[in-house]
Structure 1
Amino acid sequence: MSVFEKTVHKAFTELPIVDISLLFSDDLNKREIAASSLDKAVRETGFLYLKGHQIAPSLINDLKEVVKEYFKQDQNSKMKNYIGLSKNHSGYVPRGEEGFYSTDSQKPDLKEAYDIGPDSPSLMARFEKEAFTQWPKDGAFKKSVSAYYNAMLELSRVLFQGFALALKLPENTFTQYLTTPPSQLRLIHYFDNPEAEESDSGIGAHTDYEFFTILLPTAPGLQVLNGANEWINVPLVEDCFVINIGDMMEQVSNGQYVATSHRVRQVKEERYSFPFFSSLDYETVVAPISKFVDKQEVSSYEPIICGDHLLAQTIQTFSYLKEKSARGEVNLPENSRSLLSFGQAAIKEG
């Protein structure tokens, strides 16, 4: 395949499992072996299971425990940390706050969440120069969630290096812009719904905004769109994270790696999901890398600023930010992309 051709996903029926143990090796040749496996899986599916990640089970168990306890609280208690009260887009997200459902159905997503990001600079750095993460009063919650967040930051660094090697780029291509990224951890609680039907949405079809996502789910429900436009169920695999490519990795690779649409449907049992959205520093200019651009053609991907893209997509998704935008308190950055402007569907339309 030419480096100038956009990737078309295969009609896969299951996700590949990629062991990244060798990415932690001091031997470059071994890291390149792991990166090659990563490359193959991403090109074929845009989604994969990740094993050999070296995240301690105790971190995962502690996270699950404190998050379950948090969501057991009554609604009034949880709303004391409503995300609309924060200055850096952190806090409790009640059912119906997000607007993904408008692209899939008119039903609100059947979930609630708690969003965590860096203090400063944050996603809202354009409007709030200094801000701090909104935490519940529960000290155990902050301790366990912070520990998991920091572990995901370190795993992100390893994966950014792996993706650089996979694309045959210098290993520090991405990590040189990984100082204080506005990467976000979401703690999502999907309500149990024993009578759930296929049309019941946990979260509507979308691609992720960032470079890639490291997902830890606790029950089935995730579906991904394959190259034949079919929705494929993603079962749990023990000791594995689920990784998927996001908008900005598609952007820098000029379509070599394509963001895969996914959704959560028909959740019959209570489900928790912990996606970590891996980003680079806010001011990083995200544009197709020259080796992937045919000099005889103009790339269909215009440069964007990393944080501005995340901000624009978030403003278009959250109700409290739409309201702030209507009041003139926040505004979309210049050249903002609309929702669902990446992925296979966008490529086919283009």
Structure 2
Amino acid sequence: MNAASLPIISMTSLESAAGLAALRQAASEVGFFYLIDHGLNADVQQHYLALTRAFFQLPTTDKQTIDMIHSPHFRGYNALGTEMTAGRLDAREQFDWMNEELALATDQLRHPWQKLIGPNLWPSAMPILKPALTQLQQTMSDITINLLQKLCRALGVSSNALDHTLGEQPYTHAKLIRYPAQQQREQGVGAHKDPGYLTLVLQDEQSGLKVERGNQWVDVAPIPGALVVNIGELLELASNGFLKATNHKVESPTGGIERYSIAFFMAAQLSATVPVLPLPNNLKAKALGPTTDPNNPLLTEVGNNVLKGRLRSHPQVTRKHYCDEQLRHLLAKSFAYMPTHEICDECRA
């Protein structure tokens, strides 16, 4: 499969039966596709990529003031080699932000995922970043809600079938990403699936993103103006496995080239439980249940499904903010299937 054969879906085509059929095929057979005519034009995308480059060019001391270690909500800056995927360190530098909310007091926590709720960390050295990224977050949220509703129609259910899980505003998580050049191909980010409903990726002109297809890893080469969309674990659950969250990874660039991208993840409210959609019989017959993986169980409780990845990916933040007695108790209760040392090797609940 090459760039031309990876499905290309036009948002404007999704008012027709043929367009919905193409979307259903792309989402169920590939799990990854390019989205065009989405409303975020190429010039605006280049503006945001320029902001991304500018952020990572800030002095290290400025970025360290908003290091994620300071955030129990997993927001802020990650230096090179501080995030883990599939048990190995990733060769990328990042800035994460989510919904801007007030944190709950410790005595208000009833579930460990509630500690994800909180404010973002913004760099004082770059005041333009907060309003710019807040606007991007809203734009991408609108795109994903629209696309989710079209996907529901493509699955033969009401376009609003999952709206109740979103509430007034879906849970969103986004990140600016820099993949610095390496001497040889390395794990920019390891093979993984995304925990939410949908992911949008805005790429620069450098390749590196790969999707697992059968026993092969297929390049997802950049197409100017197109966003890359992938299906997340919550849609695999909601469709009882008719849609599949697809493994993907990024290989580090070489030859002095850097790769920049922006990833946007949309999920249901953290408090929601994902329902199984009443698919029509012809699709239900092809829905053979979600993937079974003891190393990555898919959880219908949205907050836990999101939190499991955060805990594993950022062990330093986990050790600092999730290892007190109350949090260990809540984690052990919510993640009974997961050996505690997999969450934090210093915890023994």
When normalised by structure 2's length, the TM-score is: 0.81
Tell me how far apart the structure 2 counterparts of residues 151 and 337 of structure 1 sit (CA, whole Å): 37
Partner of 1:313: 309
> Percent identity over the alignment?
23
- Tell me if structure 1 keeps the 8 A contact 2:177–2:260: yes
Post-superposition offset of 1:312: 2.0
Q: Cα distance 1:117–1:124, how it changes in 2: closer, same or farther (>3 A)?
A: farther
- Tell me if structure 2 keeps the 8 A contact 1:212–1:277: yes
Post-superposition offset of 1:76: 2.1
Post-superposition offset of 1:61: 2.5
Q: Cα distance 1:18–1:299, how it changes in 2: closer, same or farther (>3 A)?
A: closer
Q: Cα distance 1:250–1:121, how it changes in 2: closer, same or farther (>3 A)?
A: farther
**2:318 matched to 1:322?**
yes
Partner of 2:114: 126
Q: Cα distance 1:44–1:132, how it changes in 2: closer, same or farther (>3 A)?
A: same
Q: Secondary structure at the match of 2:170?
A: coil
Aligned residue among 61, 64, 86 for 1:76: 61
Tell me how far apart the structure 2 counterparts of residues 32 and 177 of structure 1 sit (CA, whole Å): 26
- Tell me if structure 1 keeps the 8 A contact 2:113–2:304: no
Tell me how far apart the structure 2 counterparts of residues 128 and 46 of structure 1 sit (CA, whole Å): 27
**2:113 matched to 1:117?**
no
- Tell me if structure 2 keeps the 8 A contact 1:118–1:182: yes
AA paired with 2:300?
I
C-alpha distance after superposition, 1:134-170 (max 9, x if no partner): 1111221112211111100110111111110111110
Tell me how far apart the structure 2 counterparts of residues 334 and 125 of structure 1 sit (CA, whole Å): 9
Structure 2: give runs of 5+ residues left out of the alignment.
Answer: 104-110, 293-297, 340-349
Partner of 1:334: 334
Tell me how far apart the structure 1 counterparts of residues 216 and 233 of structure 2 sit (CA, whole Å): 20
Aligned residue pairs, count: 311
Greater mean alpha carbon deviation, residues 134-143 or residues 218-227: 134-143
Tell me how far apart the structure 1 counterparts of residues 338 and 222 of structure 2 sit (CA, whole Å): 32
Tell me how far apart the structure 2 counterparts of residues 126 and 313 of structure 1 sit (CA, whole Å): 15
Q: Cα distance 1:330–1:94, how it changes in 2: closer, same or farther (>3 A)?
A: farther
The residue correspondences of 1:1-350 to structure 2 (distance < 5 A) are 12=1, 14-23=5-14, 30-102=15-87, 106=88, 108-120=89-101, 126-127=114-115, 131-137=118-124, 138-178=126-166, 179-193=168-182, 195-197=183-185, 200-218=186-204, 219-227=206-214, 229-268=215-254, 269-291=257-279, 304-323=300-319, 324-328=321-325, 330-331=327-328, 332=331, 334-335=334-335
AA paired with 2:47?
D
AA paired with 1:165?
R
Tell me how far apart the structure 2 counterparts of residues 18 and 38 of structure 1 sit (CA, whole Å): 7
Post-superposition offset of 1:253: 0.5
When normalised by structure 1's length, the TM-score is: 0.81
AA paired with 1:220?
S
> What is the CA RMSD across the aligned residues, in angstroms?
2.7
